[in-house]
Structure 1
Amino acid sequence: MYELDDQQRAAQSWFSRLRDDICSALERLEDEAAGPAPAGRFQRTAWDRPDAGGGHGGGGVMSVLKGRVFEKAGVNISTVHGEFSPEFAKQINGASDDPRFFATGISLVIHPLNPLVPAVHLNTRFLVTTRRWFGGGADLNPALPDDGQTKAFHDALRIMAGRHDPAYYPAYKKWAEDYFWVPHRNRHRGVGGIFYDHLDSGDWAKDFAFTQDVGATFLDIYPRLVREKMHQPYSAADRLTQLRYRGLYAEFNLVYDRGTTFGLKTGGNVDAILMSLPPEARWD
């Protein structure tokens, strides 16, 4: 039986509470929308990562909503532990000499039905090897970018990050720009946000507070962006643009995304890992 320490329990508990708060906020948006279809509700599916005899275990909960505002919204939490393969351990901070690890986090991807409403991604996590650190971020992915909404999203992250360290936002904004670049398309996946990894300042409580604030800020800004656009009419051409953009999104997640690689390399639930893929996309 793997025993969590105080830091691991605190992080796991926070990610679970954040999941609950985000799911409730999205369901409220579903209730606010008009339409013949019923308001969407999250369906939760728990999964276990069986112990293979080497101390591997843990699991998670996949929460998926399909409704009248959100064509597909997934909010997943997981807590897993075990050992990295020798090859993969070389790529992970603090695991090259000791492959044992613990990881807990939340991963969210939202694909709205209305092409004017931006898709969005959020991920925050706490990892333990021979070192301990936080990572994650939030980024906006509109099929039809709106400069005002892009600014509002970045302003919220900038103000939040500035409460913790004035160097965070410019550094993490640049990191997101570099990370969410799609080389084979020669373009960015979206309009950016922040991305950070290996956050270990030496003050665990400070780093945890920042990671919590990333989630809380997302919970504040994203529903506001949805409400601005969710009732606006859109055209068939807008929908086609959205479906083509989703193709780009899927390409990034399958080819370059670290979270996808981490999940598959550590025996995670395949359906939960691929939850990020859109329900419908187009390549032509």
Structure 2
Amino acid sequence: MTEDFDSRKALAAAWFRELRDQIVAAFEDLEASHTTGPFSDMAPGSFEVTETTRASDDGSDAGGGLMSVMRGGRVFEKVGVNVSTVFGTLAPRAQAAMAARKGIPGMADDPRFWASGISLVAHMRNPQAPAVHMNTRMFWTPHAWWFGGGSDLNPCLEFDEDTAHFHATQEQHLAPHGADLYPRLKEWADEYFYIPHRHRARGVGGIFMDDHNTGDWEADFALTQDIGRAFLPAYVPLVEKRRTADFNEADKDAQLIHRGLYAEYNLVYDRGTKFGLETGHDANAVLMSLPPLAKWV
């Protein structure tokens, strides 16, 4: 690639940080405004922010980010919103994994890379409120660049109207980028967020893309931004509606079992988890997606 991507990298990294700030503020507002219903007598939660670093073999600067985690809130039992910008040279194992992917040529000849993104997972206090995942990212090498990410809803107790709202909001935000895009990204999410050894999806779906490069960086970046912009209006109304609902022990048991399912997927199949660990990023930040408590039958 002969283009100078420094300014584009800076734009992407700044957007992921801006989106992180918006989401953290919205989630803390949900904690502060939860004054009725289950757990409303608890103190509102807030995010603990920690700087993260990526380890490099030679000790040189390899980037890092911010890990923002709220634990023990009255709405969110555990939620993490991480941003990172990392760079350097991919280790042989990571090189092989990237080289095998569509649209990432030349890794064996020049394994330099740069990656930036936001990653979010929320595990809720009330089992009536759905867990959720969202991430978007940009990856660059001297040979290629691409965007990826999406969001998917993971309720332990499913409500058809919640699923409809989540998908409709995403479809609305993707509409300016082409009428065929939402159906394709929805189908991709259904395939990606599937747990083969359980023969089931991990949730009720959403949207997902990877290795996305149309050759028009500005258009692809705009799409990635709109995937991020869709998240809060798709998700926050569901939390506002469900956080005050009563629940019973069977509901809580269903939540813990579903969290076990979520943990299985993230540890066995999730690309982001594998990439983060193989490239030496902070393990606590990479594994922030795991629930605080889970159960297996």
TM-score, normalised with respect to structure 1: 0.96
Determine whether 1:44 maps to 2:49: yes
Give 1:56 deviation, angstroms: 5.8
Q: Return the match for 1:171 from 174, 184, 200.
A: 184
Code of the residue aligned with 1:60 in structure 2: it is G
Instruction: Name the counterpart of 2:117.
Output: 105
Q: Which sections of structure 1, spanning at least 5 residues, go unmatched?
A: none
After superposition, the Cα gap between the structure-2 partners of 1:221 and 1:167, relative to the gap in structure 1 and judged at 3 Å, is: same
Q: How far did residue 98 of structure 1 move?
A: 1.9
* Cross-structure match for 2:276: 263
| Bigger RCO (CA 8 Å, 6+ sep) | 2
Q: Which runs of 4+ in 1 moved over 6 A?
A: none
- Mean CA deviation greater in 203-212 or 49-58: 49-58
Q: In 2, distance between residues paired with 1:226 and 1:54?
A: 43
C-alpha separation between the residues in 2 aligned to 1:20 and 1:201?
29
Could you say if the C-alpha distance between residues 213 and 37 of structure 1 is closer, same or farther in structure 2, counting changes exceeding 3 Å?
same
Show CA shifts across 1:189-230 (max 9, x none).
Answer: 000001101111111111111111111110222111111111
| Cα distance in 2, alignment partners of residues 172 and 54 from structure 1 | 39
Q: For residue 221 of structure 1, what is the aligned residue in structure 2?
A: 234
Q: Could you tell me which amino acid in structure 2 is paired with residue 78 of structure 1? A: S
In structure 2, how many angstroms separate the alpha carbons of the residues matched to 1:27 and 1:250? 25
Q: What is the TM-score of this pair, normalised by structure 2?
A: 0.92
Q: Which amino acid aligns with 2:112?
A: R
Distance 1:88 1:55 in 2: 19
Q: Which residue of 2 aligns with 1:83?
A: 89
Question: Structure 1 counterpart of 2:95, which letter?
Answer: A
The 8 Å contact of residues 55 and 81 in structure 1, kept in 2 or not, is answered as no
CA distance in 2, matches of 1:148, 1:96: 48
C-alpha RMSD of the superposition: 1.4
What residue identity is the alignment partner of 2:126? N
Q: Is the 8 A contact 1:102 1:127 kept in 2?
A: yes
| 1:31 match | 32
- Specify the SS of the correspondent of 2:84: strand
1:47–1:206 Cα change, 3 Å: same
In 2, distance between residues paired with 1:182 and 1:221?
24
Contact between 1:54 and 1:82, CA under 8 Å: does it hold in 2? no
Letter in 1 for 2:77: E
Q: Is the 8 A contact 1:50 1:57 kept in 2?
A: yes
Following superposition of structure 1 onto structure 2, how do residues 1-284 of structure 1 map, counting pairs within 5 Å?
5-34=6-35, 35-53=40-58, 57-66=62-71, 67-92=73-98, 93-94=104-105, 95-129=107-141, 130-284=143-297
Residue 97 (structure 1) shift: 3.0
Letter in 2 for 1:73: V
Residue 123 of structure 1 aligns with an amino acid whose one-letter code is: N
Query: Contact 1:55 / 1:82 at 8 angstroms: preserved in 2?
Result: no
Is there any run of 5+ residues in structure 2 with no aligned partner, and where?
Answer: 99-103
Q: What amino acid does structure 1 have at the position aligned with 2:89?
A: E
Amino acid of the residue matched to residue 292 of structure 2?
P
State the distance in 2 between where 1:230 and 1:274 align: 26
Q: Secondary structure at the match of 2:263?
A: helix
CA distances 1:39-84 after superposition (whole Å, capped 9, x unpaired): 1101100022244338660011100012000000100001101111
Give the partner amino acid of 2:97.
Q
* Range with greater deviation from structure 2 (83-92 or 125-134): 83-92
Identify the range of structure 1 (82-91 vs 149-158) with the bigger mean alpha-carbon deviation: 82-91
**Contact 1:181–1:189 under 8 Å retained in 2:** yes
In structure 2, relative to structure 1, the CA distance for the partners of 1:209 and 1:244 (3 Å cut) is: same
What secondary structure is seen at the aligned counterpart in 2 of 1:44?
strand
**Percent of counterpart pairs with the same letter?**
50
- Aligned residues of 1:48 and 1:59 also touching (Cα < 8 A): yes
Q: 1:195 to 1:37 in 2, by over 3 A?
A: same
Secondary structure at 1:206 match in 2: helix
